Copies of this chain bind each other. A is one copy, B any other.
Amino acid sequence: MDAIAIISIFVLAVFVGFEVVSKVSSTLHTPLMSGANAIHGVILVGAIMVCSHSSTTLELVLSVIAIVLATINMIGGFVVTDRMLEMFKGKKGANK
């Protein structure tokens, strides 16, 4: 992939990121942060990739640790976000 494409993607993603959260009420700040936190757990994909082609033991060890950490980040992140959001759980169906 060439640089300009990557930069374009980066710039556009920045805009999407900005726009999407620009009007969020403060009660959602923490859940949103937590959700975003879980999302960057996809580094797990990277960790798997490097683990898969790691050749030395050091690489293997480090990448296995990376996988563990990334998994904690990702799975734990989504679960804890869900728990935070429990208060919004159809407490009132009649809402609008």
Contacts and interface: CB of A to CB of B under 8 A. Distances in A.
A80 interface: no
Interface in A3-20: 4-6, 8-9, 12-13, 15-16, 19-20
A24 interface: no
A74 B11 CA distance: 24
Interface string A55-74: 00000000000000000000
B16 A12 contact: yes
A2 interface: yes
Contacts of A9: 5, 8-9, 12
A6 B2 CA distance: 11
A5 B16 CA distance: 16
